[in-house]
Amino acid sequence: MKNLFSNIKGDAFGGITAGIVALPLALAFGVSSGLGPEAGLYGAIFISFFAALFGGTSTQISGPTAPMTAVSMVVIAGIVAANDGSVEKALPAILTVFMLAGLMQVGLGLLGLGKYIRYIPYPVVSGFMTAIGVIILLTQILPSIGYYPKEDVEFVEQFKPHAEEVILENILKEEAGEGVLVLENFKETISQAAKITPEQILNESQTLAAKEASGTVGALKVLPRALQNINWLELALALATIFIIYGFKRITKAVPSTLVALVVVSGIAYGFNLGYRPISEIPGGIPIPHLEMFTGFSLGKITPYIFTALTLALLGAIDSLLTSVVADNMTKTKHKPNKELIGQGIGNTIASIFGGIPGAGATIRTVVNINAGGKTKLSGMIAGIMLLVIMLALGPVASKIPAAVLAGILVTVGIGVMDYKGLKAIPSLPRDIKIGPIKLSSEVLIMLVVLLLSTFWDLIYAVGIGLIIASLMFMKKIGDLTAERSDVKSLKEETWTDEVGFPENLKEEVFIKHLKGPLFFGSTSDFQALTLQIPNTAKTVILRLGRMQYMDQSGLYAMEDMLQELKKNNVEVLFVGLLKQPRYMMERIDIIPDFIPNEHIFKDFKSCLQWVKDNIKDEI
């Protein structure tokens, strides 16, 4: 903190620039999430300020990001659907999940788990990031062409019969919960059902229509109908936005092209009074905390979303720490991963209390900050303050921004967030697995599974399944490599240096086996075949274990089974070079001394050879 004001001029310019860059994205992510543009702004303000203040990366600029918004969108849609389609009713539960994610991030940092985030396999991250891009693109098709299912009269009409059923079911549930639904009061229930108004049916129908068209699958379902009802003005505004974003970058990168597109297209639309659809109104004044999320808190309501909150926390951690690495490379500094997680968690927790969507470290905004002169935490704090000032001063002006402009901005975000590096590598990766007649790379398979499941099913479960597949494939590869290097399958043993000079007359009676590498579940199948390799003439087996560093429970029982089989065949077993961990495991279940007495365990081959010469005779 003592260096906080050591670079005031550079930090001020960096923070102000980063805040301006963040403005259009914050608005767009807020609209995309379903909570409105103000939720994106609130998230950007509080996360940027508090993550910078308490975080471990001096130049990091944080706020809503594409991956965090995509997952948040799924969370919001699910909770809203469970609350009769009412965002207002669902808001306390939504914000509680976001707060829980922030608290989990703080917990991850306090437990010192920041350094382990890097172990998440690249194919999982690649598939997830590409899926985020695809999800954003598919969900922005409808607003880009000006089609809103709730406003399509014919489409909404289809849901009216179902809407009546839903309203009646809700009445029955409410009255059953209140104890009203008994035989003598059933007339009251019928009376309530008769009072259902056309407005109620219409509202419920619109909610059902919006739900039908939500998500990637929903967008694809209604796309044919949407293409027959294109609003050409909205489409023109979206295309103009996309064109300026990509075109202005070719002229100069000194001014953010996203901001230029936002100002130019919005200015033309408003100045010429084109009759466009504006975004929802941004509330004026200082953000107010949503204290109702605490008064209505219930562990039972939140329990189904704990895994979702954990996914948000982990995703935010990965997103932030990857950006921290980028910042380190640019500034030649070293971030503190656990402190960064604590800062991000505090930022997300406070943002949720004020109604903001969650976020993480943002790579583009961080790079802009560094290039503009930002060097300390003050730059991130100034970026948050800058956004607050813009919201307070220009909130009514920002409310006039066309919705199609933000849809166009999000289209470019979706295109940019996809992992093209991973996609380009698909043809060149080794095809090491076979599925039917098709040979695939295991990395490509993992990426495709995560990509498809994330896009068309569930982001959260997709990542979990991807991690499981990646772990299983990794374990199989390690098992294959261990078995290959351990020479368990080979009958012809390579003679080690200290075995030169072994008595020729005892080579028929004594079989020497070298075990190299850990004995674990991935290599036990080959180890179990060891007894089949031993010649019938052998009465003693020497196991060279000096290179077997580790043994797990599967390996332990495989060893026990082999020793039982050899004992049954009256074959003595000698251990040479047994290391500490395998010995401890074998002592736990009495392999030592029941099968291998201590006098049959030798520190080196020389002492074992002496025992062989003293106790074994040539019987052939």
Tens of pLDDT, residues 39-97: 999 999 999 999 999 999 999 999 999 889 988 988 888 888 777 777 888 898 899 99
Q: Tell me, what's the pLDDT at 99? A: 95
- The model's pLDDT over 286-301, given as tens digits with 9 standing for 90+, comes to 889 988 887 765 666 6
First to last CA, the chain: 83
pTM of structure = 0.74
DSSP 519: B
Show the tokens assigned to 558.
Answer: 């495989």
Show the tokens assigned to 235.
Answer: 């489409």
Count other Cβ atoms within 10 Å, centred on residue 302.
16
What rounded mean pLDDT belongs to the chain?
84
- The model's pLDDT over 343-386, given as tens digits with 9 standing for 90+, comes to 999 999 999 999 999 999 988 889 888 988 889 999 999 999 99
The distance of Cα 409 from the centroid of its chain, to the nearest Å, equals 23
Question: For strand 360-361 and strand 62-63, is the pairing parallel, antiparallel, or unpaired?
Answer: antiparallel
Residues 48 and 60: their CA atoms lie apart, in Å, by 8
Show the tokens assigned to 434.
Answer: 């076979």
Amino acid at 82: A
Residues 82 and 62: their CA atoms lie apart, in Å, by 31
Show the tokens assigned to 176.
Answer: 């059953």
Residues 270 and 253: their CA atoms lie apart, in Å, by 26
- Given a cut of 60, whether residue 180 has pLDDT beyond it is no
Q: Tell me, what's the pLDDT at 265? A: 94
* Collapsed DSSP state (helix, strand, coil) of residue 572: strand
Q: Tell me, what's the pLDDT at 376? A: 92
Cβ(345)–Cβ(107) under 8 Å? yes
- Which positions ≥6 away from 4 have C-beta within 8 Å? 376, 377, 378
Q: Which of 52, 19, 7, 44 is nearest to 344 (CA)?
A: 52
